[in-house]
Amino acid sequence: MSLLKAVNIKVGYGETEILHGVSMEVNEREIVCVIGPNGAGKSTLMKAILGLLKPSQGEIIFDGDDITSLASEQRVRRGICYVPQSENIFPSLTVEENLEMGAFTSQDDYRVRMKEVYHIFPDLKETRKQKVRKLSGGQRQMVAIGRALMLNPKIILLDEPSAGLAPRLVKLIFDRIVLINHSGTAILMVEQNARQALGLSHKGYVLVMGRNRFEDSGQALLENEEVGRLYLGG
């Protein structure tokens, strides 16, 4: 069943249009990956979905409702959380304080959700009293994703979750993403580690110059010779 749908989205910055009619869909309990060269509009699509950018054309449908005109805060309350590539944590706060900040709009007992986050990311439980600025890059990314999970979202938008991480930590973050998905949360992910991301995704989209170029299952895109040659390094 469809959870999130972007339909013919045109959006940009000022007079510069970046997306020229992009469409994509995430079903419930799916991992969907968006790949493509730098400048293709991948992060712009994420910002449009969250409401940080206003489309000049098109619709954003979430959980059966048109949310195109809703503010970002309203979208978050409906169950959409976004983890940007940078500036996604509070370095001067502890791990636990960061997670508490993530639950700022929750009406439930955030401590229950915090236990669930610690189950997904055991490293965070061990470092919960440490300032985030003292953590490794991988641990900081765990904090960022964990903070988004504190609102128990229906879908998490992840912008380059493995950026700058060592290969071992990339695998760890991807393993945690799969675990989050298995718990019932849908994932929409923009990722430069395209092969690994497609390998764990139910569906993938390739954006090129602000337009849809390919759409298929993650495995089918991995096996597509043209996609492999142009976007996966051969």
User: In this structure, are 107 and 189 located in the same domain?
Assistant: no
User: In this structure, are 14 and 65 located in the same domain?
Assistant: yes
Domain boundary among 122, 149, 176: 149
Distance CA 227, CA 234 (A): 8
User: In this structure, are 116 and 162 located in the same domain?
Assistant: no
Mind listing the pLDDT tens digit for each residue in 25-41? 999 999 999 999 999 99
Among 101-105, 124-128, 180-184, 222-226, the minimum mean pLDDT is found in 101-105
pLDDT band at 106 (very low <50, low <70, confident <90, very high): low
Mind listing the pLDDT tens digit for each residue in 122-149? 999 999 999 999 998 899 999 999 999 9
What is the number of alpha carbons within 13 Å of residue 24 lying toward its C-beta? Answer: 34
Mind listing the pLDDT tens digit for each residue in 34-74? 999 999 999 999 999 999 999 999 999 999 999 999 999 99
Q: How many domains does the chain have?
A: 2
Domain boundary among 120, 149, 178: 149
Q: Is the pLDDT of residue 120 over 90?
A: yes
Q: What is the pLDDT of residue 107?
A: 64
User: In this structure, are 115 and 45 located in the same domain?
Assistant: no
Q: What is the pLDDT of residue 105?
A: 66
Whether this model's pTM surpasses 0.95: no
Crossing angle (nearest 10°) for helices 167-182 and 137-149:
10
User: In this structure, are 42 and 97 located in the same domain?
Assistant: no
Distance CA 83, CA 146 (A): 10
User: In this structure, are 142 and 162 located in the same domain?
Assistant: no
Owning domain of residue 126: 86-149
User: In this structure, are 61 and 162 located in the same domain?
Assistant: yes
| Amino acid at site 150 | M
User: In this structure, are 8 and 62 located in the same domain?
Assistant: yes
User: In this structure, are 157 and 201 located in the same domain?
Assistant: yes
Domain boundary among 149, 182, 201: 149
